Amino acid sequence: MLDIKFVRENPDAVKANIRNKFQDAKLPLVDEVLALDKENREIKQEVEALRAERNRISKQIGALMGQGKKEEAEEVKKQVAADASRIEELSAREKVVEDELLKKMMVIPNIIDPSVPIGKDDSENVERERFGEPVVPDFEIPYHTEIMEAFNGVDMDAAGRVAGNGFYYLKGDIARLQSAVLSYARDFMIGRGCTYCIPPYMIRSAVVDGVMSFAEMDAMMYKIEGEDLYLIGTSEHSMIGSFIDRILDEKDLPYTLTSYSPCFRKEKGAHGIEERGVYRIHQFEKQEMIVVCKPEDSPMWFDRLWKNTVDFFRTLDIPVRTLECCSGDLADLKVKSVDVEAWSPRQKKYFEVGSCSNLGDAQARRLKIRVQNEKGEKYLAHTLNNTCVAPPRMLIAFLENNLRADGSVAIPEALRPYMGGQTELKKI
């Protein structure tokens, strides 16, 4: 959410940003917000003047009564009552205006970073860099669920009977492999200086409103019926929420955290053939990174975060690339975002396995996350998040890139301590 003062002073820049995000339907919001803001300020000014006048003339009542001027005192009382009635009327209108103003402000997108490429959707994202050499082996690579089934490692049919489409059972070495990847990711991020956290898996609506846009919430979140609780779509939601309505001491910044959680998502819409199996699902696990820092440090942390993901995947012999998300592909709260994509030898292309985002002060403004410096001055923090690893989607890349011609799967050295020393997975 933008600062209303910024919108008031830079309406053309706000409109240009909306156009750059190809959300022209939101353009009228800017003028509507300006009108509501003007009315709100006028109401406050009138209320303040009426209260001052009421206080002034109220003092006259006692003096008039003391002078025996009862009729004049009664007239003054009528004026005080009229002013009180007007203040009550204005205060009621003020609440309506402020609620409407906030509602509209929450829909206006954040100002994107000048470095973000302008484009309508993810088809216009820009490749930044490749890491590792993509390889296409001279043998056929089966679909990922077929690879898992060769190890008796997945059961989609049973999950469908139990929970419906979009769920899965992982078993045996494949289940162990997922747990190993997450344990390795945990230690990898601790080694990068992050504090390990396990957060609540449900959050209240006030936190949901603070960490994401309404459109994202509708597309992603599962609501707990009869409770003011939502299942988290990523641990970022819960982790950023832990700072709600807090004043942080500047000397304690940055907070660099890595969190594990299961994640739950609706995943609405039709899915292509490559998004079957365990690629696009309602439940998965993830190791996340979160940073809360000073505004001037967020660009540096942004680059450090996505590089952590690249380094992690490269230790597992998986080639990756980074994509700069274009303006039309950015969620409304994001200032800048980079996707990390892993190489799929079977598809002969890259696919998304993680995303790194700088949200500027948008979440901090919604959640009132402030920082106080040594002079006692307060300002809004910046928040960032990044996916270290999110199996089982990551398992697709792992299995395809480490599959051998005989159907076995090599286990990279970095992962062996978490797999009981195994160097490979063998078909059953």
Is residue 152 in some structural domain?
yes
Higher pLDDT, 3 or 269: 3
Is residue 117 in some structural domain?
no
Q: Over pLDDT 70: what percentage of the chain? A: 95
Find the mean pLDDT for residues 386-412.
Answer: 96
Is residue 112 in some structural domain?
no
Instruction: Name the amino acid, one letter, at 52.
Output: A
The CA distance from 331 to 238, in Å, is 18
Domain, as residue range, for 23: 4-105
What pLDDT does residue 267 have? 80
- Of 186, 321, 346, 393, the active-site residue reads 393
Helix axes 70-105, 27-66, angle to 10 degrees: 160
Hunting for tokens 């899965």 — which residue is that?
168
Token representation of residue 171: 């078993």
pLDDT at 60 over 80: no
Q: How would residue 62 be classed by pLDDT, with cut points 50, 70 and 90?
A: low
Q: How would residue 273 be classed by pLDDT, with cut points 50, 70 and 90?
A: low
Token representation of residue 323: 């994509």
b (16+ CB within 10 A) / e for 243-264: bbeeebeeeebbbbbbbbbebb
What pLDDT does residue 179 have? 97
- Of 213, 261, 355, 357, the active-site residue reads 355
> Pairing between strand 283-293 and 255-264?
antiparallel
Find the mean pLDDT for residues 150-165.
Answer: 95
**Residues 138 and 252 both lie in one domain:** yes
Q: How would residue 134 be classed by pLDDT, with cut points 50, 70 and 90?
A: very high
The residues that bridge with 358 in the sheet, in sequence order, are: 336, 384
Could you report the per-residue pLDDT of 84-98, keeping only the tens digit for each?
888 999 999 999 999
Catalytic (active site) residue 393: yes
Residues 373 and 250: beta-carbon distance below 8 Å: yes
Find the mean pLDDT for residues 47-74.
Answer: 74
Q: What is the pTM of this model?
A: 0.90
Could you report the per-residue pLDDT of 292-330, keeping only the tens digit for each?
999 999 999 999 999 999 999 999 999 999 999 999 999
Hunting for tokens 């339907």 — which residue is that?
25
**Residues 368 and 257 both lie in one domain:** yes
Q: Residue 359 belongs to what H/E stretch?
A: none
The CA distance from 320 to 353, in Å, is 9
The CA distance from 90 to 4, in Å, is 21
**Residues 301 and 332 both lie in one domain:** yes
What pLDDT does residue 28 have? 98
Catalytic (active site) residue 51: no
What pLDDT does residue 52 have? 86
**Residues 48 and 83 both lie in one domain:** yes
What is the CATH classification number for the domain harbouring 90? 1.10.287.40
Residues 298 and 304: beta-carbon distance below 8 Å: no
Q: What are phi and psi of 413, to 5 degrees?
A: -55, -40
The CA distance from 232 to 283, in Å, is 10
* Mean pLDDT for the chain overall: 93
Find the mean pLDDT for residues 384-409.
Answer: 96
- Of 93, 130, 280, 370, the active-site residue reads 280
Is residue 116 in some structural domain?
no
What pLDDT does residue 45 have? 94
What pLDDT does residue 280 have? 87
**Residues 384 and 315 both lie in one domain:** yes
- Of 186, 235, 236, 265, the active-site residue reads 265
Catalytic (active site) residue 355: yes
What is the CATH classification number for the domain harbouring 156? 3.30.930.10
**Residues 192 and 331 both lie in one domain:** yes
The sheet carrying 320-324 orders its strands as 126-131, 320-324, 336-344, 349-358, 382-389, 283-293, 255-264, 195-197
- Of 39, 149, 352, 424, the active-site residue reads 352
- 232 CB neighbour count, 10 Å cutoff: 27
**Residues 218 and 71 both lie in one domain:** no
Could you report the per-residue pLDDT of 331-357, keeping only the tens digit for each?
999 999 999 999 999 999 999 999 999
Q: Residues near 212 by Cβ (< 8 Å), separated by ≥ 6?
A: 220, 237, 331, 333
> Pairing between strand 255-264 and 195-197?
parallel
b (16+ CB within 10 A) / e for 97-126: bbeebeebbbebbbbbbeebeebeeeeebe
The CA distance from 183 to 415, in Å, is 9
**Residues 180 and 89 both lie in one domain:** no
Read off the DSSP letter of residue 403.
B
Report the range of poorest mean pLDDT among 56-65, 99-108, 355-364, 373-382. Answer: 56-65
What pLDDT does residue 79 have? 77
Read off the DSSP letter of residue 204.
-
Report the range of poorest mean pLDDT among 75-89, 123-137, 394-408. Answer: 75-89
Q: Residues near 137 by Cβ (< 8 Å), separated by ≥ 6?
A: 345, 403, 405
Q: How would residue 268 be classed by pLDDT, with cut points 50, 70 and 90?
A: low
Q: Which of 59, 76, 105 is the last residue of a domain?
A: 105
As a whole number of Å, the end-to-end CA separation of the chain is 54
Q: By C-alpha distance, which of 198, 217, 335 is closest to 257?
A: 198
**Residues 82 and 129 both lie in one domain:** no
Q: Which of 45, 71, 105 is the last residue of a domain?
A: 105
What pLDDT does residue 83 have? 80
Q: Residues near 226 by Cβ (< 8 Å), separated by ≥ 6?
A: none
Token representation of residue 188: 């990898």
Instruction: Name the amino acid, one letter, at 358.
Output: N
Q: CA-based angle 354:355:358, to the nearest 5?
A: 155
Is residue 81 in some structural domain?
yes
Q: Which of 58, 77, 105 is the last residue of a domain?
A: 105
Report the range of poorest mean pLDDT among 58-62, 125-129, 201-205. Answer: 58-62
**Residues 65 and 132 both lie in one domain:** no
Catalytic (active site) residue 352: yes
Hunting for tokens 């494949």 — which residue is that?
174
What pLDDT does residue 215 have? 78
Catalytic (active site) residue 280: yes
What pLDDT does residue 56 have? 76
